Amino acid sequence: MKLKYYILIFSFANYTYSQTLTLRECVEMAVEKNISVKQSALEIENANVDRSNAVGNFLPNFNAQSSHSWNIGLNQNITTGLLENITTQFSSVGGSIGVDIYNGLQNINQLHRANLNILAKQYQLDDMIDDIKLLVANSYLQVMFNQEILITQKSQLIIAKEQLKRTNSLIDAGVLPVGDIFELEANLASQEQAIIQAENNYILSKISLAQLLQISDYDNFNVVIEDLDIPFSTILENTPKSIFEKALTIRNDIKLGVINIEIAEKDIELAKGSLQPSLRGFYSYSNRVGYSDRLIGTGTFTDVPVGTVLSSGETVVRPIENTEIAPALSISDQLRFNEGQNYGLSLSIPIFNGFSSRNSVKRAKINLERSKNSLDQQKLDLESTINQAYNDTRGAYKFYEASQKTVKSRKIAFDNTQNRFQAGVMNSFDYVQAKQRYEQSLSDLIRAKFDYIFKLKVVEFYFGIPLEIK
């Protein structure tokens, strides 16, 4: 049973990694497994904790304390009035409540800043995901490009083998000289070498994409390879300016820059709040209990002489109540008699603190200007990137159209060369040269096609169109 279980688990794992993945699946996997994305997600959680702290600033602070102490050593015995080495015990309890009534609106501003910081962390995460999407799309298209090159090379190898076989037949028939076979054999070996190189490029591109997805089983990993035609898109009908204006509303790095300015403005308000007076209300309660014996009055009195009248010599006395030793009061009575309360308002007015608060305001204003400059630079960089991507895409499409014309012309030239070679009016060297030029034009066409597709996807991405390959 255990063996069957392990076989089932292994088969499932192998089945999972042997499936081909679409671009969307690759993007989702890369985002899910990327460590930087996970770290950024933790930053959002940390920002939520900061917001919780900001909300807590509006709530009162409550603290409770209690203690029990032993006093051991030389103390006066209240029953004998003598100093003795005795042990006394005391218990105390207490509690305090404090609440901010006014502190320069810092609690409100701190809550607003915490909310803005959550948005900033989210935009930071989304911007990171956008970069990953473009990186995965580039790697994905690179795999498709190398796969198509490999397919083209293999098809050319089949043609080369058939041509070599046909040439041998013509040589045997005496139509072509024996020397023509050597050039074709060299071309066949070169074609086999090109396939090895194409296979190596294809494997390396798969490994590169798999590493982005954190997949270690390269052999069973693959992507969906489709018969990809040049996609129809109306994105180039827009001007770079309109694409830039649209990107300003959707790009997460621009949103992050705007939020950073708002955070900097809120930091100025927080710094100014420290220059204002603060008012705080407080209340405290305390109580204590003792466990020592005590002296109490008996209700009887004894006259005790306190002096003598000078004129008559009469002794002056006063009554003093007699006392007796009694146990400590009950805990409930002591708690009732010993309780104490303290409440009031505390006003703090900042007068001078070594320019610390005022310098904090100055730093916050400098940071605001820095954030504004950073946003302006981001906008300039975005506009420059979009202009370059737009022009690169138009140029890539024109290059693709030119490559199509080149392939068509080279195909006609190669077919003509092939007919002349088979008729015995052209040598094998010229035939191989024409064939290699045709094969190079095919490779250039494939490269131009994928170069245009990726650059087009970049422009569409800036325009807010999701990354998909159809």
pLDDT of residue 8: 35
CA distance 219 to 181: 38
For the chain (length 470 residues), average pLDDT per consecutive 10? Answer: 36 47 87 90 94 92 90 69 75 91 90 95 92 89 87 84 77 69 81 90 91 84 72 79 92 94 94 91 91 77 82 83 78 85 91 87 94 95 93 91 91 86 75 83 88 88 77
Give the global pTM: 0.76
Q: What pLDDT is attached to residue 470?
A: 57
pLDDT of the residue at 17: 41
The rounded distance, in Å, linking the Cα atoms of 350 and 103 is 11
pLDDT score recorded for residue 226: 63
Looking at domain 2-33+103-276+350-462, its CATH superfamily turns out to be Outer membrane efflux proteins (OEP) (1.20.1600.10)
